[in-house]
Amino acid sequence: MRWALVKVCLAVTAMVVIAFAVPLGLVIREMASDRAFSDAERQAAMIAPTLSITTDREELTRAVLSTEPGDRGRLAVHVPAEGGPLDIGTRRATPKDVATVRKAGRASITEVTGGFALLQPTALGTGDIAVVEVFVPEGEVSHGVATAWLMLAGVGVALIVGSVAVADRLGVRMVQPAQRLAGAAQDLGEGRLGTRVPEEGPSELRSAAVAFNSMADQVVQLLANERELAADLSHRLRTPLTVLRLNAASLGEGPAAEQTRAAVQQLEHEVDTIIRTAREQRPQPSGQTGAGCDASEVIRERMGFWSALAEDEGREVRLAGVDRTVRIPVARPELAAALDALLGNVFRHTPEGTAFSVDVHHSGDAVIVLVSDAGPGISDPEAALARGTSGRDAASGSVGSTGLGLDIVRRVAESTGGDLRIGRSVLGGTEVRIWIGLYGSRPERGRRGHGRRVGRRTGWQRRRDSRAATRAQH
Per-residue pLDDT at 40 exceeds 50: yes
Neighbours of 174 (CB within 10 A): 17
**Secondary structure of 407-474 in the HEC alphabet?**
HHHHHHHHCCCCEEEEEECCCCCEEEEEEEECCCCCCCCCCCCCCCECCCCCCHHHHHHHHHHHHHHC
CA triple 427-428-433, angle to 5 deg: 70
Task: Say how far residue 50 (Cα) sits from the centre of its chain.
Answer: 83
pTM comes to 0.41
Residues 6+ apart with CB under 8 A from 56: none
Per-residue pLDDT tens digits for 128-160: 888 888 888 888 887 778 888 888 888 888 888
R_g of the chain, CA atoms, integer Å: 50
pLDDT at 185 over 60: yes
Write out pLDDT tens, residues 334-363.
888 888 889 888 988 899 899 999 999 988
pLDDT at 317 over 70: yes
Phi, psi of 143 (to 5 degrees): -65, 125
Task: Tell me the residue ranges of DSSP E strands in 276-322.
Answer: 293-294, 317-320
The residue ranking higher by pLDDT, 216 or 229, is 216
Instruction: Report how far residue 252's alpha carbon sits from residue 246's, in angstroms, rounded to the nearest whole number.
Output: 11
| H helices, E strands: number in the chain | 16, 12
Least confident piece of the model among 9-13, 185-189, 384-388: 384-388
8 A C-beta contact, residue 185 and residue 219: no
Going by the DSSP 8-state scheme, the letter that residue 329 receives in this structure is: S
- How is 156-206 classified by DSSP, letter by letter? HHHHHHHHHHHHHHHHHHHHHHHHHHHHHHHHHHTT-TT------SSHHHH
Polymer length in residues for the chain: 474
**Using one digit for the tens of pLDDT, what is the confidence trace for 73-115?**
888 888 887 766 778 888 888 888 888 888 888 888 888 888 8
Residue 369 has a pLDDT of 94
User: Which is more confident, 153 or 441?
Assistant: 153
**pLDDT value at residue 443:** 44
Residue pair 381/423 in contact (Cβ under 8 Å)? The answer is: yes
- H or E, element range at 333: helix 332-349
| Across 25-29, 37-41, 385-389, 419-423, least confident range | 385-389
Closest by Cα among 58, 46, 220 to 120:
46
Which amino acid belongs to residue 326? V
- Average pLDDT, rounded, for the chain: 77
Rounded Cα–Cα distance for residues 421 and 59 (Å): 114
State the burial class of residue 261 (Cβ atoms within 10 Å of its Cβ: 0-12, 13-18, 19+): middle
Q: Is the pLDDT of residue 219 over 60?
A: yes
CA separation for the pair 290, 412 (Å, rounded)? 12
Helices (H), 190-294: 203-236, 238-249, 255-280
Look at residues 420, 415, 419, 416 and name the one whose alpha carbon lies nearest to residue 437: 416
pLDDT at res. 402: 45
Nearest to 51 by CA among 104, 109, 129, 105: 129
Beta bridge partners of 320: 359
Q: Give me the pLDDT at residue 398, please.
A: 43
d(CA 242, CA 265): 10
Distance CA 98, CA 282 (A): 104
Q: Helices (DSSP H) in 74-134: which residue ranges?
A: 95-104
Q: How far is CA 307 from the centre of its chain?
A: 49
